[in-house]
Amino acid sequence: MLALNIVLYALLGTSLAFSIVELGLSAFVASAYSGTQGIETWSAYSGYSYTQVNVKPPPILVFLVFSSVWTMLVTASALVLPWYYTRKGFVSAKLNTVLAAIFVAIYFVTMVFWLACFADLASLLGGGTSINPYYNAVLAFGVLLWLLFVALVVFTILAMCGVLVSDWAGYQSLRKENGNGAQTTAGSVHEVPMSTNPVAQ
């Protein structure tokens, strides 16, 4: 039980830290593309001249900024909600089921966001790395965030199935033992309070 809680804290805390770094990097690269730039043009009639053009960043950089902010909100809520409900000391099976479904859905969506981000950026770079170290750092943190959310989806599903034991709300097993030691699904005991200590049944 303690091991899973430590793993979840580590994964969520690392995701929060990496998303803050990714936000800074992607916002810096996006701002470098924004604004007006002078482009040198040549004409046979007037020779060389400078033209001011408005430059917009590639859409993937804007999506990276959005994904970073989204990840910060997701990880902060995923850290606070289980702690808050577990601290109350009363977690019903219905609340646990709802939180578990929300966590799996949100982690999966965030995982897809980061997969799209780093795959599109790698495609933009031609499948390799860039001479710009900022692009390489954005790409590396995108891959790491994708891997972190893959791990969060797997650990959350394992906790829901009862393979791993946790006392956090949303990570408790959806199967509870009845008095005879048989397993029942959470749907039949939605209104029965679940103990925050799985050993004390």
- Residues 111-122: pLDDT tens digits? 999 999 989 988
How far apart, in whole angstroms, are the C-alpha atoms of residue 7 and residue 181? 29
The pLDDT assigned to 149 comes to 96
Distance (Å) of CA 190 to CA 157, 159, 186: 19, 18, 6
121 vs 14, which has greater pLDDT? 14
Q: What is the pTM of this model?
A: 0.76
**Whether the Cβ atoms of residue 24 and residue 42 lie closer than 8 Å to each other:** no
pLDDT over 70 at 14, yes or no: yes
Length of the chain: 201
Whether the CA torsion 122, 123, 127, 132 is positive or negative: it is negative
Q: How confident is the model at residue 13 (pLDDT cuts 50, 70, 90)?
A: very high
Q: Report the share of the chain in percent with pLDDT over 90.
A: 36
For 186-198, what is the mean pLDDT? 45
Per-range mean pLDDT, top range of 38-47, 149-158, 185-194: 149-158
Amino acid at 76: A
φ, ψ dihedrals at 9, nearest 5°: -60, -45
Angle at 13 between CA 137 and CA 160, to 5 degrees: 120
The pLDDT assigned to 15 comes to 96
